[in-house]
Amino acid sequence: MTTRSHHPDTALLLRHHGRAVAVWHLAATALTSEPLETVRAFRARVLYAKGRRPDFRDSTGRFWDPQDLDFGAWHITVDDPTGRPAAYARLCPPQLIGQFQTRDYLGAETFTKITRSLGEPKGVLGLPEGIWEASRLVSDEHVRGQGYGALAQAAYLALARVQGANAVIGLSGTKDGQEKFHQQFGYTTLPDTEGYEPHYTEGVCVVIWPTRQTAGRYEPLVDSLASELANKLAPSSGDSQGTVNELGINGVLI
Ligand SMILES: CC(C)(COP(=O)(O)OP(=O)(O)OC[C@H]1O[C@@H](n2cnc3c(N)ncnc32)[C@H](O)[C@@H]1OP(=O)(O)O)[C@@H](O)C(=O)NCCC(=O)NCCS
């Protein structure tokens, strides 16, 4: 692991129009590390939003976003040209379904009802196995409107497809029109899920994207990233085999 890096050396690196996208998995049993602390501080700084969401700073003033959901999840960062994180997203596999933010928000009963309607109940907690959750999509205020957020979102959707997910679920803010951002990728808002989230100090709703559905105008991007990721994760590929082993995901997640 390098110092001052926001992703481990073992991250899968993709390039899109000169922008570096790093995709890495953190084992459920991992200890905290510099890449994890860097992405936590980055997303906390963005979500703090100059004081709008005070929970994202601790009592010492440090940007602070520790979440158990980080362990066992995939982390995606898109770098700015200087190599610092410009955008970030997290993708959580069904193994973490008991901690999903959508489950916490909807309550176990409603969450179970909704997700069971999406497929054959057989996975963790008797829920469909193929439901993954995306969260913490953020782009730095200074790079907004330049495609960084869309690239982070496209990368996790591509990863979900490659991992064989049936659908990706998530909480979307509504204050800044974020659900419209999601709709551009083919996400649908689930009916009667609008509400208020005190931690985010804003309105939210639950959105869902079936992986077999097109990703709207971003489909070519998602498709191309999915091909690249599939190649890098393929067991027959010499380099990526090493990466998979080092990340500790062999036989656990895939
Ligand atoms: C939402 C967010 C990630 C978008 O990031 P971004 O880097 O500005 O997005 P992009 O530049 O990639 O935008 C891609 C497209 O979506 C549009 N878009 C971006 N934010 C949007 C929003 N809030 N509502 C509607 N459309 C939006 C852009 O205009 C752009 O469309 P265009 O290509 O036609 O110009 C960013 O605003 C953010 O971090 N917000 C604070 C945290 C947050 O709300 N996260 C989402 C949680 S659901």
The pLDDT value given to residue 121: 54
55: CB partners within 8 A, 6+ apart: 199
Q: Is 148 touching ligand 1 by the criterion CB < 6 Å?
A: yes
Tell whether ligand 1 has an atom less than 6 A from the beta carbon of residue 86.
no
**CA 139 – ligand 1 centroid, Å:** 8
Interatomic CA distance for residues 53 and 124, integer angstroms: 33
CA–CA distance, 50 with 180 (Å, rounded to integer): 23
Contact 70, 32 (CB under 8 A): no
Q: Ligand 1 centroid to 181 CA: how many Å?
A: 6
Note whether 80 and 21 are within 8 A (CB): no
Tens digits of pLDDT across the chain (254 residues): 333 467 888 899 999 998 999 999 999 999 989 999 999 999 999 999 999 999 999 999 999 999 999 999 999 999 998 889 999 999 999 999 999 999 999 999 999 888 877 765 555 555 566 899 999 999 999 999 999 999 999 999 999 999 989 899 999 999 888 999 999 999 999 999 999 988 888 899 999 999 989 999 999 999 999 999 999 998 764 444 333 333 333 222 32
Answer whether 137 contacts ligand 1 (Cβ < 6 A): yes
Token pair in block for residue 1: 């692991």
For residue 143, which atom of ligand 1 is closest to its CA? 7
Say if pTM beats, i.e. exceeds, 0.75.
yes
Quote the CA–CA distance of 62 and 41 in Å, as a whole number.
Answer: 8
* Amino acid (one-letter) located at 15: R
* Domains of the chain, each with CATH number or no CATH: 12-241 (3.40.630.30)
Number of helices (H) and strands (E), helices first, in the chain?
Answer: 7, 9
Tell me, what amino acid is at 211?
A: T
Q: Output the pLDDT for position 2.
A: 37
